[in-house]
Amino acid sequence: MSRTATALNYGYYPGCSLHASAREYDQSTRGLFGALGIGLSEVPDWLCCGATPAHNVDRLLSLALSAKNLTLAEKVEGDLAVACAACFSRLKTTQHELKDDAEKRSQVGRAIDGPVPLAKKVKHLLEILDSDFGLERLQQAVKRPLSGLKVACYYGCLLTRPPGVPQLDDAEAPTIMERVIEAAGAQTVAWSHRLECCGAGFTLSRPEVILKLTGDILAAAKEAGADCLMVACPLCQGNLDLRQQEVEKASGTRYGLPALYLTQLLGLAVGVPASQLGLDGLLVSPQGLLREKGLL
């Protein structure tokens, strides 16, 4: 892709998951963006955002962690690209809560030893692909259309909610994931559990809750005729993929639904070599399915 005046460059906040359990999300994000000619500069010295555990324990701490990350993000050019739905939610919530609350802002400022910069635009990868890069250009960049692949887009609970905070798309009836993956030639299925919670917060403390919540999601996707799930959150992916075997055992139903990151599917479509997409990092292997559809 030629470098033009409209070359896109972003700061990049991967978050802890993408450096650990969701390395394949990081790898495929870099692979996809590289292929599309979108620059990513990782925020230096970033911290964990604390995700759900932090704000459950101490709201001020949670705000301070993201505020510190926003301060660090000032050191890189461009809007801030975020892949993880939880990190995205925390950064957006922090901006939202501090924007009109001078008292809270000064509290957080004391905690991080400096004023909180709130001007940085925080964007989820989906938003960058859908609006900044644009669906038309994405369509043109596709080398291997995902035709014949029936994808159940799974948003989870954080990506679009609460209303008015992430402002990624309609909070209760979004279509941004469908728009993006359809641009790559995939077929999406209409299904019921796109926005249900997978129970990620309970994955260690009460795994039996996950068996029910994640089980319902897998069952709904299967019933809708999906070949695979597409996700934009490492925690959702963890539950749907890692726990799938346990869910199958508990319910006595075999689902065999790979849960791929949007960047893995799109990466394949724009011709990123499979070896750079971390496909072998998934427990429910997508290899068979992708080979069957002629994508590998």
Partner 1 sequence: MARIGVFVCHCGENISRTVDVEQVAAAAAKLPGVAFATDYKYMCSDPGQSLLKKAVAEHDLDGIVVAACSPRMHEKTFRNAAKVAGLNPYLCEMANIREHCSWVHEDRAEATAKARDIVQMMVARVKKANKLADITVPVTKRALVIGGGIAGIQSALDIADAGHQVVLVEREPSLGGHMAMLSETFPTLDCSQCIMTPKMVDVANHPNITLYTYAEVENVEGYIGNFQVTVRKKARSVDEDKCTGCGVCSAKCPQKKIPNAFDRDLGMRSAIYTPFPQAVPNTPVLDRENCTWFKSGKCGVCKKVCGPGAVDYEQQDELIVEPIGAIVVATGFKLYDIGRKPEDSSYKGYGEYGYGTIPDVIDGLTFERLASASGPTGGAIRRPSDGKEPKEVVFIQCVGSRAREKGISYCSKICCMYTAKHTMLYKHKVHDGQAYVFFMDARTPGKNYDEFWRRAVEEEEAAYIRGMVSRLYRKGEKIVVVGSDVLTGSQVEIEADLVVLATAVQARDGADSLAQKLGISYDKYNFYSEAHAKLKPVECATAGIYLAGACQGPKDIPETVAQASAAAAKVMTLLSKQQLEREPLVARVRESNCTACFACKKVCPYGAVEAKEIRDRQGKVVRVVAHVNPGVCGGCGTCQATCPSKTVELDGYTDEQIIAMIESL
Do the Cβ atoms of 265 and 191 come closer than 8 Å?
no
Of 9-17, 92-100, 125-133, 168-176, the window that binds partner 1 (rule: CB under 8 A) is: 168-176
Q: Can residue 222 be called a binding residue for partner 1 (CB under 8 A)?
A: no
Q: Which residues inside 58-77 make contact with partner 1, applying CB under 8 A?
A: none
Nearer to partner 1 (CB atom), residue 114 or residue 162? 162
Do the Cβ atoms of 243 and 228 come closer than 8 Å?
no
Nearer to partner 1 (CB atom), residue 226 or residue 295? 226
Kindly list the strands in the beta sheet with 122-124, ordered across the sheet, starting from the edge strand earlier in the chain: 39-42, 9-13, 80-82, 122-124
Nearer to partner 1 (CB atom), residue 102 or residue 190? 190
Q: Can residue 103 be called a binding residue for partner 1 (CB under 8 A)?
A: no
List of residues 6+ apart from 202 with CB closer than 8 A = 209, 210
> 195-223: string of b/e by CB count within 10 Å (b at 16+)?
bbbbbbbebeeeeeebbebbbbbbbbbbe
Do the Cβ atoms of 199 and 210 come closer than 8 Å?
yes
Instruction: Compose the 145-164 pattern: x for residues touching partner 1 by CB under 8 A, - for all others.
Output: ------------------x-
Q: Can residue 170 be called a binding residue for partner 1 (CB under 8 A)?
A: yes
Do the Cβ atoms of 126 and 176 come closer than 8 Å?
yes
In the complex, the smallest distance separating the C-beta of residue 193 from partner 1, rounded to whole angstroms, is 8
In the complex, the smallest distance separating the C-beta of residue 147 from partner 1, rounded to whole angstroms, is 26
Question: Out of 45, 173, 205, 252, which residue is the one contacting partner 1 (CB under 8 A)?
Answer: 173
Nearer to partner 1 (CB atom), residue 197 or residue 257? 197
Nearer to partner 1 (CB atom), residue 113 or residue 172? 172
Preceding omega of 162 cis (within 30 degrees of 0): yes
In the complex, the smallest distance separating the C-beta of residue 139 from partner 1, rounded to whole angstroms, is 24
Question: Out of 136, 172, 205, 252, which residue is the one contacting partner 1 (CB under 8 A)?
Answer: 172
Chain centroid offset of residue 24 CA: 12
Instruction: Compose the 108-147 pattern: x for residues touching partner 1 by CB under 8 A, - for all others.
Output: ----------------------------------------
Give me the amino acid identity at 219. A
The C-alpha atoms of residue 183 and residue 271 are separated, in whole angstroms, by 14
What is the number of helices (H) and of strands (E) in the chain?
A: 14, 8
Binding site for partner 1 (CB under 8 A): 163, 170-173, 192-193, 195-196, 220, 223
